[in-house]
Structure 1
Amino acid sequence: MKIRLWNVGLILLTLLFAGLFALFASAVQHTRELTSQLKPPREASADKTARIALIAQVQNNPFWRSVEEGAASASERFGMDLEYMGPVRIDPAEQTRLLEKAIAERFDALLVQGQSNAANARLIDQAAARGIPVITVDADEPGSARLAYVGTDNRAAGQRLGEYVVRSVGESGKIGVLIGSEANNQQLRLAGFRSVVERYPGLTIEDVRSSNISRLQAEEQAEDMLRSHPELKAIIGLSALDGLGIAEAAKHLKADGLLVFGFDDPGSTRQEIGSCQIAAALVQQPNRMGEEAVTLVHDYMQGRKPTEFHYTGTTVLDRASLADAQDGTQAVAPTERCR
Structure 2
Amino acid sequence: MSKKKWTVGLIGIFLVFCYFLFQFLSSTLKIDHLVGQMEQSMVEDKRIKHVVLIAQEIDNPFWRTVELGAKEAAAQLGMKIDYMGPIRINPAEQMNLLEKSIAAKPDAIIVQGIKEQRYDLLISKAIDQGIPVITVDADEPESRRLAYVGTDNWEAGKRMGELVVKDAGGKGRIGVIIGSELADNQQLRLEGFRSIIRNTPGFEIIAVRSSNISRIQAAKQTEAMLNQYASIQTMVGFSSLDAVGIMEGLKATNRADVSVYGFDDLEETKQGIAQGAIQASIVQQPKEIGFKSVYLLADIFKGGSIPVQHYTATDIMDSNHLKASVSSP
Which has the larger displacement, 116-125 or 103-112?
116-125
Match of 2:214 in 1: 214
- Residue 8 of structure 1 corresponds to which residue in structure 2? none
Per the normalisation by structure 2, the TM-score is: 0.84
Residue 327 (structure 1) shift: 2.9
Q: Does residue 73 of structure 1 match 2:72? A: yes
Residue pairs, 1:1-339, within 5 angstroms: 48-170=47-169, 173-181=172-180, 182-327=182-327
Q: Which moved more, 1:242-251 or 1:162-171?
A: 162-171
CA RMSD of aligned residues (A): 1.2
Displacement of 1:230: 1.1
- Could you tell me how far apart the structure 2 residues matched to 1:281 and 1:313 are? 14
- Deviation track 1:7-47 (CA, whole Å, cap 9, x = no partner) reads xxxxxxxxxxxxxxxxxxxxxxxxxxxxxxxxxxxxxxx96
Runs of 5+ in structure 1 lacking a partner?
Answer: 1-45, 329-339
**Whole-angstrom distance in 1 between the partners of 2:190 and 2:283:** 16
- Measure how far apart 1:169 and its partner are: 1.4
Residues 47 and 235 of structure 1: CA distance in aligned 2, closer, same or farther (over 3 Å): closer
- Partner-residue secondary structure (3-state), 1:282: strand
Shift of 1:142: 1.4
Q: What amino acid is aligned across from residue 84 of structure 2 in structure 1?
A: M
Question: Matches of 2:167 and 2:251 in 1, distance apart?
Answer: 20
Work out whether residues 114 and 184 of structure 2, in 8 Å CA contact, stay in contact via their aligned partners in 1: yes
Q: Displacement of 1:172 after TM fit?
A: 6.0
Question: 1:326, CA displacement in angstroms?
Answer: 2.4
Larger Rg: 1
Partner of 2:270: helix, strand, or coil? helix
Segments of 4+ in structure 1 off by > 6 A? Answer: none
1:7 maps to: none
Please say if residues 263 and 281 of structure 1, whose CA atoms lie closer than 8 Å, have aligned partners that are also in contact. yes
- List gaps (5 residues or longer) in structure 2: 1-44
- Alpha-carbon distance, 1:90 to partner: 0.5
CA deviation vs aligned residue, 1:220-260 (integer Å, no higher than 9, x gap): 00010111111111110000100000011112222111001
SS at match of 1:268: helix
Aligned equivalents of 1:272, 1:173: Cα separation in 2: 22
Corresponding letter in the other structure for 2:267: G
Give how far 1:200 is off. 1.5
Shift of 1:171: 5.4
What is the TM-score of this pair, normalised by structure 1? 0.82
Q: How many residues align?
A: 283
Amino acid at match of 2:307: T
Alpha carbons 2:171, 2:233 under 8 Å: kept: no
Q: CA deviation at 1:118?
A: 0.9
Q: Distance in 1 between matches of 2:169 and 2:146?
A: 42
Give the share of equivalent positions with the same residue, in percent: 49
Segment drifting more, 183-192 vs 199-208: 199-208
CA distance in 2, matches of 1:115, 1:165: 29
Give the SS at the match of 1:164: helix
- What amino acid does structure 2 have at the position aligned with 1:81? K
C-alpha displacement at 1:69, in angstroms? 0.1
